[in-house]
Amino acid sequence: IAKEALASGKTIRQVARERTKLAPEELDRLLDPSRMTQPGLEMGPAGG
């Protein structure tokens, strides 16, 4: 998603909205910078 966003000039949020079936609220939660950088937050399984 990040590579496509960079190549297309779109935001990560725009590409994620187009390519996934996630609700806008779920995207907001997943792409919240403070949730990604604060220690002690609950983490889900790693992708890859």
In tens, the pLDDT along 38-48 reads: 887 566 666 65
Predicted TM-score (pTM) of this structure: 0.65
Give the chain's mean pLDDT. Answer: 87
pLDDT at 16 over 80: yes
| pLDDT given for residue 45 in this prediction | 67
d(CA 14, CA 37): 22
